[in-house]
């Protein structure tokens, strides 16, 4: 019964961490509201958000594999969110010739794919560093 209970606990904790991450990312976005853009059918923003969700979940998965308890998973989840935010801000900084936010708001799928790829790729790097 213990593995079942542990699975449920990790499941609900992971959902909470992802939701907190999404709220923080929503606050980082200043030119538009993420979910308003998704409701409008903006695929670029949806790709970017999806990448953040997957990136955070990758960090959580590695954390669950390698942590002794739920507290460590909470800590690593927080670290994963912070590092994903830093990655997004660096992505914006390194694209000096255009604004990532503006391009996402305009529905630029190419920028959405790159944003998603940055989040997922760095999720693996962050996750692997937990081991």
Question: 3-class SS at 97?
Answer: coil
Q: Does 119 score more than 90 pLDDT?
A: yes
Average pLDDT rounded to a whole number, residues 20-34: 90
- Reported as a pLDDT band with limits 50, 70 and 90, residue 46 is very high
Average pLDDT rounded to a whole number, residues 80-108: 89
Distance separating alpha carbons of residues 122 and 114, to the nearest angstrom: 12
- Reported as a pLDDT band with limits 50, 70 and 90, residue 113 is very high
pTM of the model: 0.89
Cβ neighbours for 104, distance < 8 A, ≥ 6 positions apart: 32, 37, 42, 44, 45, 48, 111, 112, 115
Cβ atoms of 48 and 21 closer than 8 Å: no
Query: Which of 96 and 62 is assigned the larger pLDDT?
Result: 62
Average pLDDT rounded to a whole number, residues 82-100: 87
Q: Give pLDDT, residue 84.
A: 85
User: In whole numbers, what is the pLDDT of the chain averaged over residues?
Assistant: 91
């Amino acid at each position: 019964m213990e593995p079942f209970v542990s699975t449920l606990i990790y499941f609900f904790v992971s959902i909470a961490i992802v939701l907190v991450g999404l709220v923080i990312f929503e606050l980082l976005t200043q030119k538009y509201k993420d979910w308003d853009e998704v409701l409008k059918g903006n695929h670029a923003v949806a790709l970017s958000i999806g990448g953040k969700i997957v990136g955070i979940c990758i960090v959580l998965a590695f954390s669950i594999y390698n942590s002794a308890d739920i507290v460590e998973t909470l800590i690593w989840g927080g670290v994963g969110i912070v590092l994903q935010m830093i990655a997004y801000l660096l992505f914006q900084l390194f694209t000096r010739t255009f604004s990532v936010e503006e391009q996402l708001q305009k529905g630029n799928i190419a920028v959405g794919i790159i944003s998603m790829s940055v989040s997922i790729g760095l999720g693996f790097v962050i996750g692997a560093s937990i081991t």
